[in-house]
Amino acid sequence: MDGNDKLLLAGVLKRRGIGPETELLRDQSRLARIRRGVYADTRYWSQLQAAERYRIFVLATVECMRSAPIVSGLSAAAVWELPTVGRWPNTVEVLVARGGPSSTGNVARRRVASIPEPHHVGGVLVTSPARTVIDVARCADFAAALMVADAALRQKLCTPDDIDHEVELIPDRARGRKSAARVAMLADQLCESPGESLSRARMWELGLPQPRLQVPLHDSRGSYGRADFGWPGVIGEFDGKAKYGMQGIADEEAADVLWREKRREDRIRESGGVARWTWDDALRGSPMAQILARVGIIPVPQPPPWVRRPATT
């Protein structure tokens, strides 16, 4: 959903005889103010998650600009519907040529040597998925950037080569190049959720051994699914979530799905070293480290470097 059709512009309201002095705009229970001159139905707005609210804020801000800008950075990530961690900005980032206008109000203008070829998404111009990944990697927290990168690959919006190409375009001594190269090297389409990306970022920051991803599980009775992470003799799972989703399953099948998941959990426990952690554990870092340490996954003084996993088609 673009969200544009849910917005009310002040000009439209004025033509309908609704101005700032009218009861409709004075009653905040009926209309939510998205930004100056843009409103949305309060019931609709209250149902949205932070990411979708920010995405609509970006669309609304661009709608109010005199010329169509190229949205970039975390603002572009929101338009592409790529997840991240932490608070979304309270401004919209756009690209301008060197010598262009400076940032004003809700618009953060980033001057660049050359303007990249834009993509059309949600009615606005945005940077390509790969450029978006690299722009985020150059200015955002490592975990936030890796989350964006993993999602872009997982959704097949770009390839590792696309991301590498964007890194190569950054001058050697430019700000954020090292961070961008690190995210490009570690991004992996096998991370199936934002929580797995966050967990993997923390593992790297903690100096833990590089895990395998989506590890097949099997025992003497055969195969029984996959685990999020794996090391020799140890498997790790984010949030203890089921690998068998309940969405779209009829009520009469739910009990069978739950039973199969319980059997999977039992077999995992029988296999030996198992570590489970939650979003909060991974977000804080140290609780996840303690959980992994209990099964022998600990930092080493000079850990072998993490390497890029070969891309799959």
Q: How far apart are the C-alpha atoms of 38 and 57, rounded to whole Å? A: 9
pLDDT digits (tens, 9 = 90+) for 113-138: 888 999 999 889 999 999 999 999 99
**14 shares its domain with 56:** no
**182 shares its domain with 208:** no
**71 shares its domain with 159:** yes
Residues with Cβ within 8 Å of 178's Cβ and at least 6 positions away in sequence, in order, are: none
Binned at pLDDT 50, 70 and 90, residue 295 comes out as very high
* Residue numbers of the domain that contains 240: 194-293
* Residue tagged 């998404």 (tokens): 121
Q: How far apart are the C-alpha atoms of 279 and 134, rounded to whole Å? A: 25
Q: How far apart are the C-alpha atoms of 118 and 127, rounded to whole Å? A: 5
**167 shares its domain with 229:** no
Residues with Cβ within 8 Å of 284's Cβ and at least 6 positions away in sequence, in order, are: none
**120 shares its domain with 64:** yes
**153 shares its domain with 232:** no
SS (H, E, C) the chain: CCCHHHEEEHHHHHHCCCCCCCHHHHCCCCEEEEECCEEEEHHHHHCCCHHHHHHHHHHHHHHCCCCCCEECHHHHHHHCCCCCCCCCCCCEEEEEECCCCCCECCEEEEEECCCCCCEEECCEEECCHHHHHHHHHHHCCHHHHHHHHHHHHHCCCCCHHHHHHHHHCCCCCCCCHHHHHHHHHHCCCCCCCHHHHHHHHHHHHHCCCCCEEEEEEEECCEEEEEEEEEECCEEEEECCCCCCCCCCCCHHHHHHHHHHHHHHHHHHHHCCEEEEECHHHHHHCHHHHHHHHCCCCCCCCCCCCCCCCCCCC
Q: Is residue 299 one of the residues assigned to a domain?
A: no
* Residue tagged 């949305």 (tokens): 40
**pLDDT over 50 at 14, yes or no:** no
Tokens of 272: 């030996």
**Residue after which a domain boundary falls, among 162, 186, 210:** 186
Q: Is residue 116 one of the residues assigned to a domain?
A: yes
**pLDDT over 70 at 16, yes or no:** no
**77 shares its domain with 181:** yes
Q: Is residue 77 one of the residues assigned to a domain?
A: yes
List Cα–Cα distances, 4 to 15, 91, 234, 269, 305, in angstroms: 18, 18, 48, 49, 46
CA-based radius of gyration for the chain: 23
pLDDT digits (tens, 9 = 90+) for 174-214: 999 999 999 999 999 999 999 999 999 999 999 999 999 99
The answer to whether 274 and 268 have CB atoms below 8 angstroms apart is: yes
Tokens of 114: 């050359």
Q: Is residue 305 one of the residues assigned to a domain?
A: no
Q: Is residue 118 one of the residues assigned to a domain?
A: yes
Q: What is the pTM of this model?
A: 0.82
Percent of the chain whose predicted confidence (pLDDT) is above 90:
52
pLDDT digits (tens, 9 = 90+) for 66-82: 888 999 999 999 999 99
Q: How far apart are the C-alpha atoms of 200 and 194, rounded to whole Å? A: 10
pLDDT digits (tens, 9 = 90+) for 250-264: 445 555 655 566 666
| Total domain count, the chain | 3
The pLDDT, as a whole number, for residue 142 is 97
